[in-house]
Chain A
Amino acid sequence: MTRAPHHAAPGFLLLEDGTLFLGRLHAPLAAPAVAEVVFTTSMSGYQETFTDPSYRGQIVVMTASMIGNYGVNTQDLESPIPQVAAVIVRELSATHSNWRAEQGLGEWLASAQIPVLSEVDTRRLTRHLRTVGVMRGLVGAGTEPSAVDRTLLAGCPSMAGLDLASRVSTTTRYDWGAADAPHHIVAYDFGIKRNILRMFEARGCRVTVVPSTTPAAEVLAMQPDGVFLSNGPGDPEAVTYAPANIRAIVEAGVPVFGICLGHQLLGLTFGGRTVKLPYGHRGGNHPVKVLGSGEVLITSQNHGFAVEGTAEGIPGAPDLQVTHVNLNDGTVEGLRHRTRPVFGVQYHPEAAPGPHDAVPHFDEFLTSLGSGATA
C-alpha cells in the first residue's frame, strides 16, 4: 500500500519556461520523465485516462484534487498498461474503497514505473498551462533540477510533428467480438481505446483491429461493412501515411467513422489542416452543439490538435461539412462528407471516462453500414 504523502520523497516538475513545482514522489524514480504536460478536468475515470493510448507521451495533470479514492481494477482498462509518462496530482489517496477495486492506484502506477508527483499546487499549474500554453516538462527527484535534468528537458521533442500513433498501434492484426457477429468492422489502430471495441461488440460487430500503417487494399480485401479510424496520440499531420489509405477506402464506397485522431485524419484527407490548440481540450464536460438542432451534448474530450475551421466549414475541404462545434471556443467538433457515408467526431462517444451523451454516434455508424455501395 502506498505510504502517506508526508513520508514520500521530494520531487519536482520543471517546465520548459523554467517554472518549478514542488511535490512528493510516491516511488523511487528510475529515470526522470520528460514529456508534454497537459491537464484534464475529468473528475472521475483516472484509470481510463492513464491507460488511454491518446495520452501516450504526456505528463497528465489531474485538476480534480483527490485521486485514487476508488483504486483500480481490471475492467476499466482502456489499454493493457498505463500509457502516460507521469501523473501529477494534488493528493494521491493513500487508501481506496470500492467493491470492484483490486489494487491501489499508487501501487499500480509504481509497478508500471509511472512516476506520480503529488502534493502539487495543481491549480496553479493548470492556470499556468492555460495562460502560457501547453509545454514540455520534466518530473525529477529532489527539490532542485540538476544540469542533466535541464539538458534532458531541452532535448525533449515537441509534440508538433510527432507521429506517436505508429508507436502505440498494434503491430499485428487481431479480432474483437463474436466471430459470427452480424457486422464486420475494420478498425485502424492509431491508439484505440478498448471501450470503442466494447461499444462495437455490444452492437453486434466483429472488429478486426489492424496496424495504423495497413494499406487500404489489405483492408478492402477483408470486405468490411465499415471502417473505423481510431483515436490516438500525437500530431495528426505527422501521420503522413494515413490519408491516402483513407481516401482509397472512402472511394471504394465503404462507410467510415473516425474518432478524435481518426476525425482529424478525415479532415486532412479531404484537404483540411489541423492546428495545435493552446492548451487542448481534456475533460468530461465539454459542451458540443449539434448544428442545425438545439441539441447540446456533454462530451468526453482529449485532444491537443483540432481540425481548422468554423461552423461554416473547413478551409480547403469543400467536400466536408461541419456538423458539431465546441460551445466554449467554437472549434470544429464533428464533420461529415457531403456525399459519402463518412463522418468523424473530435470528442469521444465511447466516453470511458466521461458522459454517454454521444454514444448514439455508434448507432449512427451502424445505420450507415451497407449504405456505402449505393451512396
Chain B
Amino acid sequence: MPRRDDLKRILLIGSGPIVIGQGAEFDYSGTQAAKALREEGYEVILVNSNPATIMTDPELADRTYIEPVTPEFVELIIARERPDALLPTMGGQTALNVAMTLHERGVLEKYGVELIGANARAIAVAEDRKLFGEAMERIGLRCPQGRIATTWEEALEIAEWTGFPAIIRPAFTLGGSGGGIAYNREEYERIVKRGLAESPISQVLIERSLIGWKEYELEVMRDSVDNVVIICSIENIDPMGVHTGDSITCAPAMTLSDREYQAMRDAALKVIREIGVAAGGCNIQFAVNPANGEMVVIEMNPRVSRSSALASKATGFAIARIGTKLAVGYRLDEIPNDITKTTPASFEPVLDYVVVKVPRFAFEKFPGADPVLTTQMKSVGESMAIGRTFKEAFQKGLRALETGRAGWVVGERPVDDRVADDSLAAVEQALAKPVPERVFQIKRALLHGMSVEELHRRTGVDPWFLRQFEELVEAERAYAALAEVDAVSLRHMKRMGFSDRQLAALRKETEGAARTRRWALGVRPSYKMVDTCAGEFPSNTPYLYSSYDEESEAPRTGKPSVIILGSGPNRIGQGVEFDYCCVRAALALREAGYETIMVNSNPETVSTDYDTSDKLYFEPLTFEDVLEIVEREQPLGVIVQLGGQTPLKLVKPLEAAGVRILGTSPDAIDIAEDRKRFEALARELGVMQPPNGTATSVPEAVAIAERIGYPVLVRPSYVLGGRAMEIVYDEPSLREYFERAVRVSEERPVLVDAFLEDAFEADVDALSDGKTVVIGGVMQHIEDAGIHSGDSACVLPPHRIAKEHQDIMRAHTIAFAKALGVVGLINVQYAVKDGVVYVIEVNPRASRTVPFVSKTIGRPLASLAARVMLGETLEQLGYTQEIVAPYVAVKEAVFPFTKFREFDPILGPEMRSTGEVMGISRHFGEAFGKSQLAAGNGLPREGHVMLTVNKSDKAGAVPIARRFRDMGFGLVATHGTADHLESVGIASRRVFKVSEGRPHGIDLMVNGEIQLLINTPLGKSAQRDDYSMRQAAVANRVPYTTTLSGADAACAAIESARAHPASVKSLQEWQAELR
C-alpha cells in the first residue's frame, strides 16, 4: 500500500514551549515528521509557538505558523489553510489534546480534516483511564488495581480501599503533572485536589501502590495492515514509583528472560491492536512483580514520546520518521531501513551494546522545592550514553550529565548527595525516599559495606543492577591498590567506563598524568557503529560511540572536516536553542562542502539525529571524550561557540592540547569571562559598567558592597543561566548569601555589581567575520532589570528604548566585537538607567535569543556564523546590514512552577524558565498577547484585576489601573495599593492581604473572582508576604505578572485583543515583508 494520493496538504502540530515533561524530543519528532512528509511530496502546514526549534525554521514546512498551540488558534489556521489531514501524534500531549478538542468541537468535521496517525477513538481510549482499563480487561491484561475519582468525595471512598501509599494519576496531563504518591491522608487530599484541578476532564486514577515493582517500556509501531514491530525495550533502574522520565533507564531490558520478554511483547501487540493506533508509533509501560513475574499494563501513549526519541537514538530506528510514513499509508515492509539502506523497516532492531539514559534535575534552581521523586516528572533534561556493557554505559551517562561528577562518583560532601553526614545511619535514612542523588547514595552505602540484599530491600532496585554497581566499587578498590598500572588492568577499568579523571582520583594523580600513561600504554577507545542490526548487515551511516574494544568502524573520508560540539543535556539556562544553533551550523557546513561531525550526548535533540551531520559521535562532552574524537578525526577545527557553556568550558584544555578552535579566539572568550580583563577593555572602549568588584572572600565582598552601595547583584563567576545569582539589599543578607548559596575562594571568585533598580534592559545579538560586524537585533526586555535575561520577555524591535540609546548599544556591540576579534556570534547585554547605557555582560558566543532573532529577521544567524568561522566573509554571504522587521516579535519565557509547588513563583536574577514562545504581530499588544497565550498565561478580556504592589511601584501602577478601569475591568486591591489608587481618584474593591484576615486575595482567586493578578514584590521580607498569593495564582491558573512593566505589556495586549479579532499569519508571509 503506497502513499495516499487523496491527501495533499497536511497540518502538523508541534508541542509548544519546552516544559518539564515535554522537551526537545518533540522538536526532533516534529522535524522528522515535516521532513518525511515533504519528501513524499505533501504540502506541510506547521504550527508551533516555540521559536527555538529547528522544526519552525521556514525551510522545514510550506507554511509555518508560530502561533499559540491552542484549539482556537489551530482552528484559525485550519480555516485559513484547509488542510486535508492533521497529524497529531508528533507534538506530545499538547498536540494530542488540541486535536481532541478540535474533534470534539466538530471543527475537524466542519472543515473536512482527517486525523491521521491516531484516530479520535484511539486517543480517547488510551488517555481516558476508565476506558483504558476496560479495554485491557477485554484483552485479558491487567492494569494496576485502580479506581476513577472525579470528586474529592469519591477519592475519599477509594482511599479506604487502596490504603497508603496510594498513587494518583490525573487524566490527560503531561509528564504526570499534578500526580503523585500519597503516604498519608494529608498528602492524599493535597494531591487528589491538585490532580482534579489539573486534569482537563477533572478525573484522577487512584491506584494501589506498585512501589518496588520493576518498570519497563516497549516502543511499538504498527502499520495500516496491522503489522506490528517492537523497536526497543527499556528497563528502569528505579522501580515503580519514580516517573520514567526521572528514572535512570537502560536499553535493551537487562533482567528479562526471553519468556518474560515475549509475554510482554505479546501483550504490547494486543494493546496496540485493541486501542487501534491507526498507523504509527506508541509506547506502552509495564510493571513486573519481581517476586513472581506478574505483569500489569501501566499506560499507553498513542503518539511519539520522550521514550520514543530515546528509543530512536538507542536503536538507530527513526520512529517519528517511519511513523509519519506509516500515517500516510505506507506499510512497514515498503519503507527502507534508513541506517542499513539494504533491509526494510519491518523488523525489530537488535542492539549489541547497552544504552543508559540519566535524567538531569534542576533543584539547585528551586530551593525549597521537594526533591523526592514521584510519579510527577521533575527532571529538565537527560543524557544518554552507549557502551558495550552496562557498566560502561552507566558511567558514561553519569559523566555526560555535566554536573561536575567524573562518573559514578560520590559528592565531595555528604550534602552533595543529599545525605546528612558520613555515617551509615545517615545513608540508610536517605535511601528511604528516592531523590536525584540516589545512585550516589547507593555508592555510599556500598562503600559502607551494605549488602546488595539490604540495598535491594531499602531501594527496590533490582539486585542485578546493584551487583553491577558493587562490581564497580570492587574494581575501584583493586585499581587503587595496584602496585603498578599496566595495560591490562587499565584497559579493564576503561572497559567499565571509568574516565581518566576517575582513574586519576583513585590513584591520587592528575587527569593529565592518567591520560599520558594511558596513551603510552596504547589504551585507546575504538568507535563502533549503531546500525539497528548488531552487525548482521552492512551499514553506511556513521552513527558512532566509543568503547574500549578492538575494532574501530568510523570511516575516514579524507574530506576536510569540522567538529561541532553540542550542548549536552538540557538544563535551565541551556536548552534547545543551543541545539538549534549546532544543527544550523552542521547543515550550513555540509552545504558548504565540509564533512560535519557532531558530538553530543542528548537523546532528545535534532543534533543527535544521525541525519543532521555526516558523522555523529554520541559521546559525553568531557575533555577526555572530545579529545579522543579530535585525535581520531583530525578536523580542520572545532566549533565551540554554538553549544552554550558546555563546549566553552572545554576551550582552555582543548587549546592547551593543540586543538584548533574555529572562530573567536580562546583568548577573546577569556577576556569576556574574566572580570578584570573585561573591565579594562570596557574602560578602553569608553563603555560604562555598573560599579562592581570581584571578591575572593566574604569580608572583601562586604567591602565592595559598601563601596558601590546596596542593592547589589552577586553571583559566582563563570556561570550560565544566572546560577546562584541574587539581588541583595543589605549586609546581613549578603552574609547569609555566602552561608547558604555560594562558597567563595581564590579559585571561585564572586562578582559583586551595583544593581540598577528600575533600569531597562536590552540584549543585542550580532555577527562578525572579524572585520565586518552586523547587528542581528536589538531586543528590549519587558521586565525591568533584575530579572534574568532568559526569564524576561523581550520584544524585537524595541518599543520603549529611545533610538539614541539603541544606537549607542549598536555602536558598543560593534566596538566590542572588533576589539575582541569576534569571528562568529556575539551577544551583549545592556541596561539603561537615567539616560545612561551600561554594559552588563558580553558573551562572544551564540546566545539563547539566536533562533528568535533569526526567525524575526529572516536570516539564519547560526548558519552564517558557522560559515564565517570557516573563513567566508559576511559580504560573501550577503549579510551586510541589520534588518529591522516592519512587524513586532515578542519572546516570552515559560516556567516550571506548577511542578515545584513549594517554590515561590517569582522572577529574579537566577534563570528558572525551561522554554520560550514567540508571538508575532503588526502591533506590540497583539504580539505580547499571543506570547502570553502560548506560554499558558492567557490574558482575560474582562473580569477583575487584583493589584498589590510595593511602595516604589504605587505611582507606576496608577496609569495601568486606569487603563484597566477604562476597559471595564473591576479593580481589586490590597489596602496600601487601594489607598494610593483612591488618592488619585481610582476606586477599587479592598481585599485583605493573606496575613490580615479574610476574605483575602487567595479566597478570591480560589473562587474564580480574579482574572489577572498584578503583584510586585521587592526585597526579601516583602516577597515572603506575597509568596502564598503567587502560589495560589499558579495553582488556580490565574494569569499573573510580578513586574509593572509586565503589567503594562499585559494591559496593552488586552487592549489589542479587545480591539482586533485574533488572526494568524505564517512566518513565510511575515518574512516576505523583509524583501
Contacts and interface: CB of A to CB of B under 8 A. Distances in A.
Nearest to A352: B258
Interface in A102-157: 119, 121-124, 126-127, 130
A97 B456 CA distance: 11
A100 interface: yes
A97 B256 CA distance: 9
A284 B349 CA distance: 10
A123 B551 contact: yes
A129 to B, nearest CB: 9
Interface stretch (B189-197, B340-348, B980-988, B993-1001): B340-348
Contacts of B478: 6
Nearest to A351: B262
Contacts of B259: 75-76, 352
Nearest to B224: A294
B256 A44 contact: yes
B347 A287 contact: yes
A76 B259 CA distance: 8
B1007 interface: no
Contacts of B266: 356
A22 to B, nearest CB: 8
Contact of A97 (B255, B293, B333, B553): B255
A66 B551 contact: no
A327 B348 contact: no
Contact of A285 (B225, B255, B347): B347
Given A4-B471, A4-B474, A124 B550 contact: yes
A119 B550 CA distance: 11
A318 to B, nearest CB: 28
Contacts of A289: 333
A45 interface: yes
B464 interface: yes
B403 interface: no
Give the bracket for the number of chain B residues in contact with chain A: 35 or more
A170 interface: no
Contacts, number: 172
Contacts of A91: 388-389
Interface string B142-157: 0000000000000000
B254 A66 contact: yes
B332 A296 contact: yes
Interface in B301-335: 331-333
B463 interface: yes
Interface string A63-98: 111100110010110000000000000110111111
A296 B227 contact: yes
B255 A41 contact: no
Interface in B449-496: 462-464, 467, 471, 474-475, 478, 489, 492, 495
Contacts of A287: 333, 344, 346-347
A124 B526 CA distance: 11
B229 interface: yes
A101 B495 CA distance: 27
Nearest to A91: B389
Nearest to A281: B536
A95 B230 CA distance: 28
B268 to A, nearest CB: 11
A295 interface: yes
A351 B259 CA distance: 10
Nearest to B493: A6
Contacts of A296: 227, 331-333, 346
Contact of B257 (A65, A98, A283): A98
B348 A298 contact: yes
Given A69-B254, A287-B333, A296-B332, A122 B352 contact: yes
A70 B550 contact: no
Contact of A327 (B252, B344, B535): B344
A328 interface: yes
Nearest to A286: B347
A6 B333 contact: no
A219 interface: no
A300 B395 CA distance: 33
B533 interface: yes
Contact of A63 (B1, B344, B346, B535): B535
A121 B467 contact: no
Interface in B207-231: 225-227, 229-230
B350 A43 contact: yes
B262 A126 contact: no
Interface in A332-374: 351-356
A333 B146 CA distance: 45
A48 interface: yes
Contacts of B489: 6
A63 B350 contact: yes
Contacts of A65: 351-354, 388-389
Contacts of B519: none
A44 B258 contact: yes
Contact of A41 (B254, B463, B533): B533
Interface hub of B260, B262, B349, B492 (most chain A Cβ within 10 A): B262
A285 B352 CA distance: 14
Contact of B551 (A93, A95, A99, A124): A124
Interface in B536-581: 536-538, 549-551, 553
A283 B535 CA distance: 12
Contacts of A352: 258-259
Contacts of B538: 130
A96 B471 CA distance: 13
Interface string B855-869: 000000000000000
B349 A294 contact: no
Contacts of A45: 257-258
A43 B351 contact: yes
Given A94-B467, A126-B536, A328 B343 contact: yes
A127 B535 contact: yes
Interface in B238-261: 252-261
Nearest to A71: B257
A76 to B, nearest CB: 6
B590 interface: no
A346 to B, nearest CB: 16
Nearest to B391: A91
Nearest to B456: A97
Given A4-B474, A41-B534, A130-B537, A66 B347 contact: no
B390 A66 contact: yes
Given A4-B474, A76-B257, A295-B225, A69 B535 contact: no
A90 B353 CA distance: 9
28 contacts: A6-B492, A41-B534, A43-B351, A47-B258, A63-B534, A63-B536, A64-B252, A69-B255, A70-B256, A91-B389, A93-B464, A94-B467, A95-B464, A98-B260, A99-B290, A123-B352, A123-B549, A126-B536, A127-B535, A130-B535, A287-B347, A294-B225, A296-B227, A298-B229, A298-B347, A328-B537, A352-B258, A353-B262
Given A94-B471, A285-B349, 17 more contacts: A41-B536, A42-B350, A43-B350, A69-B464, A93-B464, A98-B255, A100-B293, A121-B549, A130-B537, A285-B350, A296-B332, A328-B347, A328-B537, A353-B258, A354-B258, A355-B265, A356-B262
Interface of A: 4, 6, 21, 39, 41-45, 47-48, 63-66, 69-70, 73, 75-76, 90-91, 93-100, 119, 121-124, 126-127, 130, 283-287, 289, 294-296, 298, 327-328, 351-356
The 8 closest A-B pairs by CB, nearest first: A45-B258, A97-B464, A353-B258, A124-B551, A63-B534, A121-B550, A285-B348, A44-B258
